[in-house]
Amino acid sequence: QKEVEQDPGPLSVPEGAIVSLNCTYSNSAFQYFMWYRQYSRKGPELLMYTYSSGNKEDGRFTAQVDKSSKYISLFIRDSQPSDSATYLCAMSMFSGGYNKLIFGAGTRLAVHP
């Protein structure tokens, strides 16, 4: 079983739709959960960072973590064409103070006008 699983998509939605992106993981030691956005041929850009279970909201973005189910989600409200990108989930655990990130495969999202 892969450590982090993420459906690669592609996901195509109309402008204004609510988008739901998800990852599952197998290692219960993961404590920190992140969503990065990656535009074509660019580096990952941090969108959301959460620790422990629960919801975190930032503008049109909501990150949700369910540690009991080992499942994390990112919701995008009122999606815009500029949201078209690949969305990467990433997670890490405390391991002696060092913080390597384990990434999912990324979900490619296309928002069409």
| Site residues for another protein per CB under 8 A | 32, 34, 36, 41-46, 49, 51, 88, 90, 94-106
Q: Considering beta carbons, is residue 21 or 104 the nearer one to another protein?
A: 104
Name the β-bridge partners of 75: 20, 62
Q: How far is the CB of 84 from another protein (least distance, A)?
A: 18
CB of 90 to another protein, least distance (A): 8
Judged by DSSP in three states, 15 sits in coil
Residues 82, 94: Cα–Cα separation, whole Å: 34
Residue closer to another protein by CB (options 79, 88) is: 88
| DSSP state, residue 3 | S
Give 3 or 78: the residue with its C-beta nearer to another protein.
3
What lies within 8 Å, CB to CB, of 36 at 6+ separation is: 44, 45, 46, 47, 87, 88, 89, 90, 103
Closest distance between another protein and the C-beta of residue 37, in Å?
A: 11
Nearer of residues 79 and 109 to another protein, judged by Cβ: 109
